[in-house]
């Protein structure tokens, strides 16, 4: 839609957090492709960004907050947070820079592109800034993003956590073939809602491309591992929290955010049954999980 300022406004909702992007309407390309349609809303976002093409501002000084040493960095300058898609120490200019106001409710996105061929304004942030921004917003006492596969099995929410090669995409395929709804096979957002722990799908899938933006309460949590047979071992307390933390995306640069994330993980394992799940990659695991 076109807002009162004559800007095109595009809003997506991920994990219940609405992000609006405002772009000069003279840019003809404002396309959406593939599964991104599922995350569109007509409502205005709680976090709003003005998008600027073909202009990376000159930056000097600032306080370094975190540097991945390769793909992105975060620092502060002039009372704002700055997120860029390259190392803080890099000699070259970034392709994307995000300026966030200190209240995390608005900002500016600068893209080294004239906008004529981008065609994917549904995600002007690009990887990895899209996910880093979400981690930042979640750490403000909103929730946590997990390396997990989320399944809606006829209204019952199963969360399967695992690192790469642990079987998340395999689990997604097996449940999809059993008429379950796959929220995502790789990135799941978890938040507390009305006293329950909910999970939400994201646009950032792994090998299995089916996904959904919907959310639902989590009934059971499973920590995946490969095995010779299907088995589930209960996990509780500090052990379950430790496993959960190793499968989350924590705000390592933010002490308060880390305290919140650790506290949320404790809360999650107190409210939801957790198991370490060994499984064979066939249809039997579906009924096994349902009966666990």
Nearest C-alpha neighbor of 265 from the set 163, 204, 215, 191: 191
Sequence-distant (≥ 6) Cβ neighbours of residue 142 within 8 angstroms: 15, 17, 191
CATH 3.90.228.20 location in the chain: 144-291
Q: What is the pLDDT along the chain (292 residues), one digit of tens a residue?
A: 555 567 888 889 999 999 999 987 554 444 555 446 688 888 889 999 998 887 888 777 789 999 998 899 999 998 999 999 998 877 778 889 999 999 999 999 998 865 555 544 556 888 999 999 999 999 999 999 999 999 999 999 999 999 888 999 999 999 999 999 999 999 999 999 999 999 999 999 999 999 999 999 999 999 998 888 999 999 999 999 999 999 999 999 999 999 999 999 999 999 999 999 999 999 999 999 999 9
Rounded to whole angstroms, what are the CA distances from 239 to 26, 123, 243? 55, 37, 6
CATH 3.90.228.20 is right for the domain spanning 144-291:
yes
- Specify the residue for token string 């047979």: 229
How many Å apart are CA 143 and CA 199, to the nearest integer?
A: 10
Tokens of 136: 């930042």
Rounded to whole angstroms, what are the CA distances from 247 to 18, 39, 146, 167, 241? 25, 24, 6, 13, 10
Tokens of 190: 């978890």
Phi and psi at 42, nearest 5°, equal: -90, -10
Task: Tell me the helix, strand and coil percentages in the chain, rounded to 5.
Answer: 20, 35, 40
DSSP annotation of 272: S
Max Cα–Cα distance, the chain, nearest Å: 61
Instruction: Say what the pTM is.
Output: 0.92
Tokens of 105: 């409710």
């Amino acid at each position: 839609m076109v807002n009162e300022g004559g800007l095109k406004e595009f809003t997506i909702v991920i994990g219940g957090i609405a992000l609006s992007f405002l772009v000069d309407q003279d840019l003809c390309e404002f396309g959406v492709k593939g599964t991104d349609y599922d995350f569109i809303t007509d409502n205005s976002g709680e976090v709003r960004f003005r998008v600027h093409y073909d202009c990376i501002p000159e930056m000097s000084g600032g306080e370094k907050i975190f540097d991945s040493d390769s793909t992105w960095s975060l620092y502060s300058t002039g009372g704002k947070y700055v997120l860029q898609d390259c190392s803080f120490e890099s000699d070259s200019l970034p392709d994307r820079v995000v300026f966030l106001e200190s209240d995390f409710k608005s900002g500016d996105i600068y893209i080294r592109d004239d906008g004529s061929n981008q065609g994917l304004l549904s995600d002007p942030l690009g990887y990895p800034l899209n996910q880093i921004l979400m981690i930042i917003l979640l750490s403000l006492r909103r929730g946590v993003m997990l390396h997990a596969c989320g399944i809606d099995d006829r209204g019952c929410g199963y969360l399967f956590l695992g690192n790469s090669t642990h079987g998340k995409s395999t689990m997604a395929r097996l449940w999809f073939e059993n008429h379950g709804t796959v929220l995502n096979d790789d990135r799941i957002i978890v938040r507390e809602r009305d006293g329950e722990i909910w999970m939400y799908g994201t646009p950032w899938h792994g090998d299995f491309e089916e996904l959904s933006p919907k959310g639902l309460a989590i009934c059971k949590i499973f920590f995946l591992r490969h095995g010779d047979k299907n088995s589930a071992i209960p996990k509780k307390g500090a052990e379950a929290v430790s496993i959960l933390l190793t499968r989350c995306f924590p705000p390592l640069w933010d002490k308060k955010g880390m305290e919140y994330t650790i506290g949320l993980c404790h809360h999650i394992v107190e409210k939801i049954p957790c198991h370490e799940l060994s499984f064979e990659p066939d249809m039997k695991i579906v009924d096994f999980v349902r009966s666990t």
